[in-house]
Amino acid sequence: MYHFLIALGLIMTSTFAAPTGGPSGCGKQPPSGVSPGGASSNRTLTSGDQKRSYLIHLPQNYDSNKPTPLILSFHGRTQTAKQQEDGSQFSNPSFNPDGIAVYPQGVDKQWQGDPDAPKSIDDFKFVSDLLDRLNSEYCIDPKRIYATGMSNGGGFTGLLACDPTVSAKIAAFSTVSGAFYLGVLGAPSNALPDCKPARTPIPLLHFHGYVDTQIKYLGGGNGSNRGNTTSIPDYLDRWAKIDGIQPDQNPEDLCDGKVKRHSWGNGILQHYNETLLNHEWPTKSNKVCYDGAQVIMEFFGKHTL
């Protein structure tokens, strides 16, 4: 009997205990108004004296006793969290049946890394504060937290991958049409900001339209005089160097040759060169043969901290 009780105790501890090492919302009901499978909720928190907001979507099968993956999806400049939810599709159960999707809102609809982002805003701290808040309210698996974003949100996702504090908490990254500006955050005018990831290699899945007129594949400006971005091949070479990895093979043709997929280090770094896409999120209904959300979720599923 005694042994049986100990065994029962161990089973209960391993099934129901909160993961150790930080605040945990495991075992707690979600805040009122946030319901599994329902429409996303708009929530706020204060970070660095600023009131910030984000949309959160819980999967239908959310169980507050089961550690759950988390996907952060960052909008582009001039866009909203709601537009990012609709465009990126991580609240759609056909792409993301099991993960929590969160769409943070940038102050003045932009993120650090854009030349016009105000210096008074600390979006890196916002992401840290947001992760602490989410961990305290929901049962999040600390080994399966992911970040993705579009345009300025993709550029910011790339900066998170380079951040020594935030990158330690995120298992994999994906950037779509990312805007990687030179000369921002204190970097010299012809250089990207420093990149000091907490570990290497960093899993990164990168998409860019070859005919992007806003953030050009080959870098430079787009005529609007808002600053220059790095060329995509330079950006990827830089990551391969940081990661210490080599190309896997010659690029692979996808979608009848409309997309060229490059891969380094057994796929830890991947690049989709979408030859027909402009500044757009890839979907099957738009010139490519895959849905970005699906490819991103498959990539994230291969990486845990």
Ligand X SMILES: *[C@@H]1O[C@H](CO)[C@@H](O)[C@H](O)[C@H]1NC(C)=O
Binding site for ligand X (CB under 6 A): 42, 44, 53, 55, 80-82, 105, 183, 189, 210, 213-214, 220-224, 226-228, 233, 251, 260, 273, 275
Q: How far is the CB of 180 from ligand X (least distance, A)?
A: 12
Q: Which helix (H) or strand (E) holds 158?
A: helix 152-162
Choice between 164 and 221, CB closer to ligand X: 221
Beta bridge partners of 254: 259
Q: How far is the CB of 3 from ligand X (least distance, A)?
A: 54
Q: How far is the CB of 224 from ligand X (least distance, A)?
A: 4
Q: How far is the CB of 216 from ligand X (least distance, A)?
A: 9
Handedness of CA 210, 214, 219, 222 (dihedral sign): positive
User: How would you classify residue 257: left for phi > 0, otherwise alpha for psi between -120 and 50, otherwise beta?
Assistant: left
Choice between 41 and 64, CB closer to ligand X: 41
Residues 211 and 276: beta-carbon distance below 8 Å: yes
Residues 229 and 215: beta-carbon distance below 8 Å: yes
The DSSP secondary-structure symbol of 229 reads: B
Choice between 40 and 167, CB closer to ligand X: 40
Q: How far is the CB of 236 from ligand X (least distance, A)?
A: 8
The DSSP secondary-structure symbol of 230 reads: -
**CA–CA separation, 127 vs 132, rounded Å?**
9
Q: How far is the CB of 141 from ligand X (least distance, A)?
A: 26
Q: How far is the CB of 77 from ligand X (least distance, A)?
A: 6
Helix axes 152-162, 123-137, angle to 10 degrees: 80
Choice between 67 and 183, CB closer to ligand X: 183
Choice between 226 and 238, CB closer to ligand X: 226
* The two three-digit tokens of residue 146, written as one number: 């992911």
Choice between 14 and 224, CB closer to ligand X: 224
Beta-carbon contacts of residue 253 (< 8 Å; ≥ 6 apart) = 259, 260, 261
Choice between 160 and 215, CB closer to ligand X: 215
Beta bridge partners of 52: 45
